[in-house]
Amino acid sequence: MMKKLMRQSKMPSLQEMITMANEMGVKFVVCTTTMALQGLTEEAFIPEVKVFAGASTYLGEAREAKVNLFI
């Protein structure tokens, strides 16, 4: 449903947005606590994810960032 709405609105696909973000220097940070709770490993994530960190590391990184999204 979302893919269809995005196409109809002429928005880039999720993969295209990830590529654009990566090219603009966006840093993808995955929460290791959430990973553990959900039973996920680093191999489960897209290649653009280079940082796996706990909440305190994330907050330290976020403090220095211009824009920050916690999803």
| Tens-digit pLDDT profile for residues 11-46 | 898 899 999 999 999 888 898 999 999 999 999 999
Count of structural domains within the chain: 1
- Please report whether residue 65 resides in a domain: yes
- Please report whether residue 43 resides in a domain: yes
- Please report whether residue 13 resides in a domain: no
pLDDT at 71 over 70: no
Distance in angstroms (rounded) separating the CA atoms of residues 18 and 14? 6
Domain of residue 48 covers 26-71
| DSSP assignment string, 48-70 | T--EEE-HHHHHHHHHH-SS---
pLDDT at 59 over 90: no
Distance in angstroms (rounded) separating the CA atoms of residues 62 and 71? 13
Among 25, 37, 64, CA closest to 54 = 37
Mean pLDDT of 46-62: 87
- Please report whether residue 7 resides in a domain: no
Provide the 10 A C-beta neighbour count for residue 34: 11
- Please report whether residue 5 resides in a domain: no
What confidence tier does 8 reach under pLDDT thresholds 50, 70, 90?
A: confident
Dihedral-angle region of residue 10 (phi above 0 means left; psi in -120 to 50 means alpha; beta otherwise): left
Model pTM score: 0.70
